[in-house]
Amino acid sequence: MALLEVKDLEKRFGGLKAISGLSFSVEKGIIFSIIGPNGAGKTTLFNLLTNIYAPSSGAIFFKGKEITKLPPFKIARLGISRTFQNLQVFLNMSVIENVMVGCHLRSKSGLLASALRLPSVIKEEKMVRQMAYEALEFCGLPQYASRPAGGLPYGILKKLEVARSLASRPELLLMDEPAAGLNDTETAELCQLIKRICDSGVTVLLVEHNMSLVMEISQKVLVLNYGKLLAEGSPEEIQKNPEVIAAYLGEG
Amino acid sequence: MKRLSGFVLFSAICLILPLLFPDNYYVTVVGLTIFINIILAVSLNLLMGYAGQISLGHAAFFGLGAYSSAILTIKYGLNPWIAMLTGAAFVAGLSYVLSRPILKLKGHYLAMATLGLGIIVHIFFVQADELTGGPDGISGLPSLSIMGMAIDSDLKWYWVLCSCMLLSVLFSLNIADSRAGRALSAVHGSEIAAQMMGIDTAMVKSHIFVFSALMASFAGSLFAHQQDFVSPESFSFFFSIELVTMVVLGGLGSTFGAVIGAFILSILPEVLIVFEDFEVLIFGAILMVIMIFLPEGLFVALKNKVAAFVAKRQEEGVDGPS
Amino acid sequence: MDQLLQFLISGLTVGSIYALVALGFSIIYNASDVVNFAQGEFVMIGAMSAIFLIKAGVSYPVAAILAILITAAVGLALDKFAIEPAKNATVVSTIIITIGASIFLRGAALLIWGKEIYGLPPFTTNDPIKIGSATILPQNLWVMLGTGVTVFAVKYFFDHTKMGKAILACSFNKKAAYLVGINVRRMLLVSYGLSAALGAAAGLLVTPITFMSYNAGVMLGLKGFCAAILGGMGNSMGAVLGGILLGIVETVGAGFISSGYKDAIAFFVIMLVLFFKPSGILGKGETERV
């Protein structure tokens, strides 16, 4: 059974079909990349998967269960997490607090218990802080823990989003253009990070423009063009596919 | 506990003052107003500063708590504590029902809806004179007693209100540094990202709205018994704006910011009375000057300056004196 | 039925005033994302200045023009001395500054003009005119006409003049406007001056009907804010529409249901509209790009 299954997904914005007739599945434990020219519908797809947009038709299944109409926070509770193309870091908190929010699903103190600071709360705080710190270490950011997030460089914030998502121990991590805006060194670090994430058992679904990154780390690549599936296969197969080449470089 | 060292110091000061100055008007009378305002400002700060939801109608819940106590004790003869709890339950229910539709709005539209709420409640206090006594209000509330001892002197009220104030400050500090507090700040920082971390943002907003309304309701009931009198004037739109000003003046998002803001805005009118006709003018000028030069709020600005000073000293310490 | 006509006339009159105040809010909000809580004070200052200029012997028309200029100057001063120095503050902090300014201006008005209530003479002879079974005062017509002309002039300014378009550019994207050579600071200054002038115009139009005192600006400012929200914050024509609707709902509510609860009814209606259209009647929904 595939981890994620998309069936006949369609999204219309008025008369424009952003996504049409899209079907694919993602096996557990791999790095699956989605590429395509600008405007192909990649971020729209992510927004559909996390129900930030509701699909016009079609269905999405996670571990066999339909998630098409679930609100985003319920989707997160099933084990899917996501980073964003336009950073959605909590700039009003410190780095470690950002990641501690990622641990929200792994803790349970409520408002009243927190106000009274019951012993269970104190114990949980210690545990959450430890889990957050481990996530920061995994992403190479422990030295920034107590720094306020606002004011940190872009590259660090991109890693912070990853650490935050990882802290929730997702089964599937959606990464929306993680390499955007990164220089070569940062991209190489990202490459290693994604491999480490996959090795730790998390399935990664990636949307990217950076071809060399995609080709290096992916087990499977899907090409979107004008919201439709153009090709699907291993990196080598995709690189040789004449339709793909035409789509990127233009016809004739 | 290092985390609460500021709070311990603050508590000590509050508790010592009446022992040092038992007959001082500022301590025993103005102090009571300050304590009520602190509870209100701290509760509003949880909603506005942490969760980032603007409310221009907080005085409504304060008033509902006050009027509930007045009406239930005088017209229906309920025990004051039962009346207070009943009023709180009513406010909890009302605020919960209103929270869902209201908190779907954002920014100025949310401000507008809370403003409308505040004004509608205030108009009700003025117009429904059969129940509320109209513009003249209700007076003659029975005294509040704790374990048989009636709270009937300024000093006794000082101890009661001080304890309640300290409790509310403690709650706020605890929430800030907890999973619930981080969820609030996350909703403020980015609702979409908060949702992707599994936070039910609608529920979080709703819960903090109710929690802060409850705090205001209890403050209202205490206020009603302490003043022995309720009238619509104390619960107007102007007071809601004053509360927002207190929170921002001290520093939005900071519990002690709300405390300082409440303190300054409560004491300023008393201090400025010497200027007579110039009072309003100077009050406005002070507000402007503080916000222009310290837009992050008085307490937050102070905290940042101290932190910067300490960081600089540490740097110099490492490098050694030059 | 004839009652309805009478209420509509009153509603349109008071709604026109709200429309002007709302337009003032909208202009400053568009230029700077700030809700200027001192907007109501501009109305008061415009009216009070005119009243006292007339007392000092100045003719009505000249006093009116001077009053508008004085208020515009106050608006410019507000921007220059209170808003500009705090240019790096958050929106919320800036709003508190305008609250402080509104208190300051009220305090100044109290010192200069005292607590009494004053009036302005109507623009022309004020014999009531009968329309069907309703009566309308010429001043009501002046208010509606004055508002119509002013709104038209403002719309023309934004649609067809270089400066108006420059201000609109600032409201869409300050950085981009700056990069194409627009002096954003000056445009903001102009916006405050313009809003203040609008407020003063509203004050001049309404005082012959409802009189004025040092703190009468507060409620007007509040209602104008509500109207701007109702119409869709940032949409100038929405603000005007919101103002007129608010005036009508308020008057009809007072007439048919209860005059004590009229404000409550008006707010209730506004909140109802917001629940169905969360960004106001003509407002555009804000979509976050993620």
DSSP string computed for chain C: -HHHHHHHHHHHHHHHHHHHHHHHHHHHHHHHS---TTHHHHHHHHHHHHHHHHHTT--HHHHHHHHHHHHHHHHHHHIIIIIGGGTTS-HHHHHHHHHHHHHHHHHHHHHHH-S--B----SS----EEETTEEE-HHHHHHHHHHHHHHHHHHHHHHHSHHHHHHHHHHH-HHHHHHTT--HHHHHHHHHHHHHHHHHHHHHHHHHHH-B-TTTHHHHHHHHHHHHHHH-TT-HHHHHHHHHHHHHHHHHHHHHT-STTHHHHHHHHHHHHHHHSTT-SSPPPP----
The rounded distance, in Å, linking the Cα atoms of B221 and B68 is 7
Neighbours of chain B (3+ CB pairs under 8 A): A, C
Residue C106 confidence (pLDDT): 93
> DSSP secondary-structure letter at A148?
B
> DSSP secondary-structure letter at B291?
H
3-state secondary structure of B260: helix
Most confident of the following: B5-14, B146-155, B313-322: B5-14
Answer whether A114 sits within 8 Å of B179, measured CB to CB: yes
Contacts with A175 from chain C: Cβ below 8 Å: none
The rounded distance, in Å, linking the Cα atoms of A191 and A180 is 13
Shortest distance between the Cα of B2 and any Cα of chain C, in A, equals 31
Residue B257 confidence (pLDDT): 94
Within a 13 Å sphere around the CA of B81, how many CA atoms are in the beta-carbon half? 7
Tell me what the pLDDT averaged over chain B comes to. 90
Residue C290 confidence (pLDDT): 59
A27 is written with which tokens?
């096996």
Contacts with A84 from chain C: Cβ below 8 Å: 290
A115 is written with which tokens?
């106000």
Geometric angle at alpha carbon A88, from A15 and B250, rounded to 5°: 125
> DSSP secondary-structure letter at A41?
S
Tell me what the pLDDT averaged over chain A comes to. 91
The rounded distance, in Å, linking the Cα atoms of B52 and B45 is 9
A117 is written with which tokens?
């600071």
Residue B222 confidence (pLDDT): 95
SS percent in chain A: helix, strand, coil, step 5: 40, 25, 35
pLDDT in tens, A137-159: 999 999 999 888 988 999 999 99
C164 is written with which tokens?
């108006």
The rounded distance, in Å, linking the Cα atoms of B258 and B273 is 24
* CA-derived radius of gyration, chain A: 19
DSSP string computed for C139-177: HHHHHHHHHHHHHHHHHHHHHHSHHHHHHHHHHH-HHHH
Shortest distance between the Cα of B132 and any Cα of chain A, in A, equals 33
| A-chain residue closest to C290, CA distance | A86
Which H or E run includes A64? none
C146 is written with which tokens?
């004055």
Distance between the two ends of chain C, CA-based, in angstroms? Answer: 53
Shortest distance between the Cα of A208 and any Cα of chain C, in A, equals 15
Task: Say which of B104, B115, B119 has its CB closest to residue C278.
Answer: B104
Residue A249: pLDDT above 70? no
| A-chain residue closest to C289, CA distance | A86
Whether B38 contacts B45, CB under 8 Å? no
Torsions phi, psi for A175 (to 5 deg):
-115, 115
Mutate to test the interface with A, among C287, C288, C289, C290 (most CBs of A within 10 A): C290
Answer whether C260 sits within 8 Å of B126, measured CB to CB: yes
Answer whether B280 sits within 8 Å of C105, measured CB to CB: no
pLDDT in tens, C272-288: 888 888 778 887 765 55
Task: Say which of C90, C94, C229 has its CB closest to residue B112.
Answer: C229
Torsions phi, psi for B149 (to 5 deg):
-95, 120
* CA-derived radius of gyration, chain C: 19
Most confident of the following: B48-52, B91-95, C259-263: B91-95
Cα C27 to Cα C146, C194, C196, C235: the distances in Å are 19, 8, 10, 9
Domains and CATH numbers, chain A: 1-79+170-252 (3.40.50.300), 90-168 (no CATH)
Closest CA to B209 of B85, B68, B108, B114: B114
Contacts of B104 (CB under 8 A, 6+ apart): B202, C275, C278
Residue B243 confidence (pLDDT): 94
Residue B1 confidence (pLDDT): 55
Strands (E), B192-316: 229-230
Per mean pLDDT, which range of A52-66, B179-193, C116-130 is the poorest?
C116-130
The rounded distance, in Å, linking the Cα atoms of C255 and C249 is 10
* Average pLDDT value for residue range B71-96: 94
The rounded distance, in Å, linking the Cα atoms of C164 and C177 is 13
Domains and CATH numbers, chain B: 2-319 (1.10.3470)
Mean pLDDT per block of 10 residues along chain C (290 residues) reads 82 93 91 88 94 90 93 94 85 86 93 89 81 81 91 90 87 81 88 94 90 89 90 86 92 84 86 83 66
The rounded distance, in Å, linking the Cα atoms of B66 and B233 is 12
Shortest distance between the Cα of C123 and any Cα of chain B, in A, equals 33
* Residue B189 at interface with chain C, using a CB cutoff of 8 Å: no
Chain B from 286 to 305: CB within 8 A of any C CB: 286-288, 291-293, 295-297
Whether C250 contacts C263, CB under 8 Å? yes
pLDDT in tens, A177-202: 999 889 999 999 999 999 999 999 99
Q: Is the dihedral of CA A97, A99, A102, A107 positive or negative?
A: negative
pLDDT in tens, C251-262: 988 888 878 888
Cβ atoms within 10 Å, residue B3? 10
- Checking C149-157 for CB contacts under 8 A at 24+ apart, the result is C150/C20, C150/C198, C150/C201, C151/C19, C151/C20, C151/C23, C151/C240, C154/C23, C154/C27, C154/C194, C154/C198, C154/C236, C155/C236, C155/C237, C157/C194
| B-chain residue closest to A86, CA distance | B193
Which H or E run includes A60? strand A57-62
CA C20 from chain centre, in angstroms, equals 4
Residue B321: pLDDT above 60? no
* Average pLDDT value for residue range B255-262: 94
Residue B281: pLDDT above 80? yes
Top pLDDT among A243 and B124 is at B124
* Average pLDDT value for residue range B206-214: 95
> DSSP secondary-structure letter at B141?
P
ipTM of the complex: 0.91
Residue B170 confidence (pLDDT): 95
Whether C210 contacts C217, CB under 8 Å? no
Cβ atoms within 10 Å, residue B16? 10
Whether B198 contacts A168, CB under 8 Å? yes
Contacts with A115 from chain B: Cβ below 8 Å: 171, 174-175, 180, 211
Per mean pLDDT, which range of A112-126, B233-247, C167-181, C276-290 is the poorest?
C276-290
Residue A207: pLDDT above 90? yes
Shortest distance between the Cα of A155 and any Cα of chain C, in A, equals 17
| A-chain residue closest to B50, CA distance | A92
Please tell me the CATH code under which domain C2-114+129-276 is placed.
1.10.3470
Residue C1 confidence (pLDDT): 66
Task: Say which of B175, B194, B196 has its CB closest to residue A114.
Answer: B175
A32 is written with which tokens?
């699956």
The rounded distance, in Å, linking the Cα atoms of B241 and C264 is 18
Whether C105 contacts C43, CB under 8 Å? no
* CA-derived radius of gyration, chain B: 21
The rounded distance, in Å, linking the Cα atoms of C12 and B275 is 43
Looking at chain A, how many residues does it have?
252
The rounded distance, in Å, linking the Cα atoms of B64 and C153 is 46
3-state secondary structure of A118: coil
Residue B320: pLDDT above 90? no
Task: Give the position of tokens 């490492």.
Answer: B318
Contacts of A121 (CB under 8 A, 6+ apart): A109, A113, A114, B174, B178, B179
The rounded distance, in Å, linking the Cα atoms of B207 and C134 is 51
**Amino acid letter for position C179:** L
Residue B142: pLDDT above 70? yes
| B-chain residue closest to A46, CA distance | B196
Top pLDDT among B24 and A231 is at A231
Residue A252: pLDDT above 50? no
Give the predicted TM-score (pTM) of the model: 0.90
Whether C45 contacts C109, CB under 8 Å? yes
The rounded distance, in Å, linking the Cα atoms of B43 and B220 is 12
> DSSP secondary-structure letter at A140?
T
Contacts of B5 (CB under 8 A, 6+ apart): none
